[in-house]
Amino acid sequence: MKFLEVENLTTRYQTSKGQIHALDDVNFSLEKGESIGIAGESACGKSTLGLSMIRMIQGGKIVSGKINLDGESVLDLTESDFNQNYRWKKIAMVFQGAMNSLDPVYTIKQQFVEILKQHKYEGDSDKLILKAINSVNLDESVLKKYPHELSGGMKQRIIIAMALLLKPKFVIADEPTTALDVLIQAQIVNLLKKLKKDGMSIMLITHDLAILSEIADKIGIMYGGKMIEFGNSNAIYKNPKHPYTQGLLESIPTLHGGKPKFIKGNPPDLLSPKEGCKFIDRCPEAMEKCKKDPPRFKTDSGYVMCWLYE
Ligand code: SF4
């Protein structure tokens, strides 16, 4: 059995205008110790995938699918079992923009202690907090400080340390480098690489494909709520198959390359998605049969959802 298996995961949000098809039939798997990068443009379902995996969908619900993590069926656990024994202990998430959620009136240590209280931790709290702080390359002097006394990079590392506090097996990091300058981004990327080397499985959600190439063993490309390509990161970088993945990679600016290309058009409407391939209106290779939803066609290391590979 694989370490992580996600099958046919489908999540909808209910709005006054109708249902948003945020995540549609998503499939992927990981071996123990592997990490995955999830990429795609805004509103493609990346964050909803992370939130579904940690069962924190607000204003919506998971309508079907399976998540098996380390031999356990995550979606079959009761809410109290999941809260007490699973969330943060086996699976944790670094939320998008979370460094701004540190409480300004409490010291960093008080905020760590609060987490342990909530989880009824009975061991040596000081030792555990220090270990978590050290694991993100900070020393104990930060524990006496208030958030405003720390730089953006330090705050982000504190948030990552909080996610690691109860030693989860799998950590989801949603855009952990967004809004940080390039030097701090490099620090966070190095930190994630170190955690991975220490055996942590990471799911890194980002729109920055350059960062994914440094960390991910596998890559999942999302478009219109679907994972339209999945496979080994080397294979996807060297030989992207889906026209959207190709466009995404061609849009990365390079130092000595020519002008980056852009994908014309807009993301699909997820409120009333059309039948067929969601990329059809923007795809330079669209054909008549693309009006039918493409199934998953096998590639050497994963799959691609595009009729070109039938
Ligand atoms: Fe383009 Fe058709 Fe492939 Fe969709 S299925 S990406 S429209 S070729």
Q: What is the pLDDT along the chain (310 residues), one digit of tens a residue?
A: 899 999 999 999 999 999 999 999 999 999 988 999 999 998 899 999 999 999 999 999 999 999 999 999 999 999 999 988 888 889 999 988 777 789 999 999 999 999 999 888 889 999 999 999 988 889 999 999 999 999 888 888 899 899 989 989 999 999 888 767 787 788 888 888 988 888 889 999 988 887 888 889 999 999 999 999 999 999 999 999 999 999 999 887 777 767 778 888 889 999 988 899 999 999 999 999 999 999 999 999 999 999 999 9
C-alpha atoms less than 13 angstroms from C-alpha of 302 in its C-beta half-sphere: 27
Q: How many residues does the chain have?
A: 310
SS3 240: coil
Other Cβ atoms less than 10 A from the Cβ of 68: the count is 18
Q: Whose CA is nearest to atom 3 of ligand 1?
A: 306
Strands 4-15 and 18-30: antiparallel
Question: Ligand 1 centre and the CA of 263: distance in Å?
Answer: 14
Ligand 1 centre from 228 Cα, in Å?
Answer: 10
Name every residue whose Cβ is closer than 8 Å to that of residue 81 and which is 6 or more positions away in sequence: none
Task: Give the model's pLDDT for residue 145.
Answer: 96
Where residue 11 falls (left for φ over 0; alpha for ψ -120 to 50; beta otherwise) is beta
Single-letter code of the amino acid located at 243: P
Determine the residue of 304, 305, 306, 310 to mutate for testing ligand 1's pocket, defined as the one with the most ligand atoms within 8 A of the Cβ atom. Answer: 306
Surface-to-core class of residue 129, CB atoms within 10 Å of its CB (0-12 exposed, 13-18 middle, 19+ buried): buried
Distance CA 164, CA 167 (A): 5
pTM of the predicted model, to two decimals? 0.92
Q: Give CA separation, 75 vs 72, 78, 82, in Å.
A: 9, 8, 9
Write out the two tokens for 109. Answer: 């240590």
Dihedral-angle region of residue 225 (phi above 0 means left; psi in -120 to 50 means alpha; beta otherwise): left
Amino acid making up residue 85: N
Residue 172 tokens, joined: 């989801």
Tokens representing 195 are: 């955690």
With 0-12 CB in 10 A as exposed, 13-18 as middle and 19+ as buried, what is 294? buried
On the 0-12 / 13-18 / 19+ scale of CB atoms within 10 A, 5 is middle
For the chain, the structural domain boundaries read 4-81+216-232+242-309
Neighbours of 307 (CB within 10 A): 20
Q: What pLDDT shows up at residue 130?
A: 95
What pLDDT does 276 receive? Answer: 94
The predicted structure's pLDDT at residue 174: 92
Spacing, Cα 309 to ligand 1 middle (Å): 10
Q: Residue 184: what pLDDT?
A: 79
- For ligand 1, the distance from its centroid to the CA atom of residue 205, given in whole angstroms, is 24
Task: Look at residue 195 in the predicted model and tell me its pLDDT.
Answer: 87
Pocket test for ligand 1, best of 290, 292, 304, 305 (most atoms within 8 A of CB): 290
CATH pick for 4-81+216-232+242-309 out of 3.60.110.10, 3.40.50.300, 2.60.120.200, 2.40.70.10: 3.40.50.300
32 φ/ψ sector (left φ>0, alpha ψ -120 to 50, else beta): beta
